[in-house]
């Protein structure tokens, strides 16, 4: 169908898109550098001569782009991730916490326990197990907990991978790095969650309860996953990318 010039609507661009375009330009050209705080919403609204409602529509788009994050009680901040380069996304095997988080993770705390198997662990691990290792990890950035992971691993897989549960550093290195180096495939599912399943109430995550949840089955062999991971990334820090090719 041919579209003639006279058929094209000549209406103006919505005001919130004009504000978005200008803020996008100022962020990407460094006027507002990474980690800096934007002026307050009343100041920005006055600067652009728009209503708070219009401004918030523009800010919501910038948050969707991963350029701005809103911290309750503090304001709006420019993220470190500004999409300057094409980075590896979930299309390649690798720890999702580091590929999908906008903050630099500088510390990981871990604790684990041995559980009896359940119908749920049989399903997610695709095997019967004499016992299951349940592992919790808390990811910190500049002292704040900004991510959480819960992992199930069959005790048989611990033996198969020659892991020593008394060596916590070795176990953490396996979960964070070596498992991904050894893996031949992974199955990933992405959901939205409002309930982080952490048993430690004192370690509340920065950014609120609403998280992107990445469910990951990591395979070293085709029979069953060596680990089943649940990664929780607070919405304001989440930037999930998939570089699809044909």
| Domain range annotation of the chain | 10-78, 96-237
Q: Which residue has the higher pLDDT, 76 or 6?
A: 76
Tell me the pTM: 0.76
The number of residues making up the chain comes to: 246
Q: Over the chain, what is the mean pLDDT? A: 87
Q: Which residues of 123-148 are buried (b: 16+ CB within 10 A; e: fewer)?
A: ebbeeebeebbbbbbbbbbeeebbbb
State mean pLDDT over 100-124.
93
Residues 6+ apart with CB under 8 A from 37: 74, 75, 76, 77, 78
Please report the pLDDT score of residue 120 as a whole number.
94
Topology of domain 10-78 in CATH is Arc Repressor Mutant, subunit A (1.10.10)
Angle (nearest 5°) at CA 96 between 94 and 100: 125
Closest CA to 157 of 142, 181, 179: 179
E strands, 38-173, are 68-71, 75-78, 107-115, 132-141, 144-154
Are 59 and 212 within 8 A, CB to CB?
no
Domain 96-237 has CATH 3.40.1410.10: yes
Q: Any idea of the CA torsion for 52, 57, 59, 61, to the nearest 10 degrees?
A: 180
* pLDDT tens for each residue of 49-77: 999 999 999 998 888 777 888 877 788 88
């Amino acid at each position: 169908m041919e579209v003639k010039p006279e058929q094209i609507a000549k209406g103006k661009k919505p005001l919130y898109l004009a504000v978005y375009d200008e803020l996008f330009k100022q962020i990407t050209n460094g006027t507002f550098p990474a980690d800096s705080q934007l002026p307050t919403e009343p100041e920005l609204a006055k600067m652009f001569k728009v209503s708070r409602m219009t401004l918030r529509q523009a800010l919501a788009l910038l948050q969707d782009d991963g350029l701005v994050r809103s911290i309750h009680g503090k304001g709006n901040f420019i993220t470190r991730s500004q999409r300057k380069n094409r980075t590896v996304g979930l299309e390649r095997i690798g720890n999702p916490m580091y590929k999908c988080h906008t903050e630099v993770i500088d510390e990981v705390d871990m604790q684990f326990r041995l559980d009896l198997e359940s119908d749920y662990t049989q399903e997610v691990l695709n095997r019967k197990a004499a016992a299951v290792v349940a592992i919790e990890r808390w990811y910190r950035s500049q002292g704040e907990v900004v991510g959480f992971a819960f992992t199930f691993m069959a005790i048989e897989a611990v033996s198969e991978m020659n892991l020593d549960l008394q060596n916590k550093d070795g176990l953490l290195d396996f979960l964070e790095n070596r498992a991904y180096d050894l893996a031949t495939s992974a199955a990933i599912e992405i959901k939205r969650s409002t309930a982080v399943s952490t048993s430690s109430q004192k370690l509340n995550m920065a950014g609120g309860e609403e998280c992107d949840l990445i469910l990951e089955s990591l395979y070293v062999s085709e029979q069953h996953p060596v680990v089943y991971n649940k990664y929780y990334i607070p919405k304001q820090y989440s930037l999930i990318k998939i570089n699809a090719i044909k």
